[in-house]
Amino acid sequence: MFHKKQAYNQIEQTIAWNTTRGNTPDTLDWDLEVAMLQEELDELRDATTTVGRLDALLDLKFVIGGTLGKMPLTADRIVDAYQLVLDANETKSATKNAAGKITKPADFVGPEAKLQALLNLN
């Protein structure tokens, strides 16, 4: 079950951690963000233990949270955006394609329009 307060607290903590280190909206560098994500993806790919995989996945989440905090979005807006994506994903089917990915029904509506509306609130 999704707990908005818990997610909000984790995002607030991540934004605060980044802010105290000078990582603020005016420092957003997409090339750097992608490089940091790639570094963590490489760590995940190369991990050979459950602990290594868990660490890499959580590092990815941390980098993503920091990047979201630099967009700039408040923790509330980040949580709301995540909920929009969750809600859209809930409308996907339970079937998988040959690669194992969950398929979208023909009438699937992605969250992009609602995400744009949320961004327009800033």
pLDDT tens readout for residues 52-107: 999 999 999 999 988 998 987 888 899 899 999 999 999 998 899 999 999 998 89
- Domains of the chain and CATH, by start: 4-120 (1.10.3420)
What lies within 8 Å, CB to CB, of 97 at 6+ separation is: 103
User: pTM, whole model, 2 decimals?
Assistant: 0.81
Burial class (CB in 10 A: 0-12, 13-18, 19+), 83: middle
**Spatial distance between the Cα atoms of 18 and 78, rounded to a whole number of angstroms:** 15
- CA torsion 109-112-117-119 (nearest 10°) is 160
